[in-house]
Amino acid sequence: MEIEELPGVGSAIAKKLKEAGYYDLMALAVANPDAMAADAGIGEATAKKLVNLARSKLNMEFADGIDILKKQETMGRITTGSKALDSLIGGGVETQTITEAFGKYGSGKTQLAIQLAVNVQLPKEKGGLGGNCVFIDTENTFRPARVMQVAEAVGLDPKKVLKNIKVGRAYSSDHQLLLVEKIPELVQKDNLNLKIIIVDSLIALFRAEYVGRGTLADRQQKINRLMHALQRLADRYNAAVYVTNQVMARPDIFFGDPTTAVGGNVVGHTATYRLYLRKAKGTKRIARLIDSPSLPEGEAVFAVTEKGIVDVED
């Protein structure tokens, strides 16, 4: 059903909504009415009415467990390139969810991001979803040469692979949030088959801009908004979301590994799968699954090579 088909929506209101980035019923249904009224320049009462109409058409009420099961059966998975790592997270990076990977520099977070940007374009029988990637780069880590190298290794045309990755370079936390909010407009304009959104890294710009305890509440509130925007996009497009995160050392930990992810409970509660990556000897990396709603904690060893993410040879 198109927006114009909703009762009381004429061509003028539909045009305003689409110019503000609300292209379909799902965009209306998950919108905040006050924010939509401000974005589209329509009355608050009209915005609330449209949101309620969209939600009723999409049947966004309570559902039973069977309905949830049917929805989850539509989830896809994207191979990481390593069978051991895929097995650790249940068969690959899952759509409709957020997967977070955190670790020190050199632990393989960005390499995994590039691998997923390539592998999502593989056909389903080879572990991909035949879709496009949106890559939000906050640390200037996206390297086309590396993408081409990985694409050749998996048997894809390097130039076509690069064409199917839409890269947004974020220069501030507000710009980062804006790029995420602009994704529906990009999908509409370029007719993308969006299957993965990558943010590398999630937290870098926030750490640079919000310094000191006095800014912590504002920072966490904005990160919370960003994470929920990513989850809505994952549900809306049946796409995977992969975010990399930085780490810090906890001063209250005297025994064991004091390394912990930045972002606190806001990131921890929103991410569905949390991976802690560590560098081992040579090309080897260790991934530890520390949080999942359905899988036990565990570890997998993989390697980062010229060909990308691969299994470690015995």
User: What does DSSP say about strands 240-245 and 98-102: parallel, antiparallel, or unpaired?
Assistant: parallel
For the four alpha carbons of 161, 166, 169 and 170, in that order, the dihedral sign comes to negative
Hey, what are 6's tokens? 């909703």
CA distance readout (Å), 241 to 33, 50, 63, 283: 25, 28, 24, 26
**Where in the chain do CATH 1.10.150.20 domains reside?**
3-57
Nearest to 6 by CA among 34, 28, 39: 28
At 265, list the tokens: 């409970």
In the block, tokens 């990755």 appear at 165
User: Which CATH number applies to 3-57: 3.40.50.300, 2.60.40.10, 1.10.357.10, 1.10.150.20?
Assistant: 1.10.150.20
pLDDT for position 9: 84
Q: What pLDDT score does 56 carry?
A: 86
Name residues of the chain where pLDDT drops below 50: none
- As its CATH architecture, domain 71-311 has 3-Layer(aba) Sandwich (3.40)
Distances, alpha carbon 138 to alpha carbons 110, 176, 180, 244, in Å: 12, 8, 12, 10
**Strand pairing category for 259-261 and 247-249:** antiparallel
CA atoms of 246 and 267, how far apart (whole Å): 12
What is the C-alpha end-to-end distance of the chain, expressed in Å? 54
pLDDT at 252: 66
CATH 3.40.50.300 domain range(s) in the chain: 71-311
- Single-letter amino acid code for the residue at 10: G
Burial code (b: 16+ CB inside 10 Å, e: under 16) for 277-310 equals bbbeeeeebbbbbbebeeeeeeebebbbeeebbb
Asked if 187 and 237 touch (Cβ cutoff 8 Å), the reply is: yes
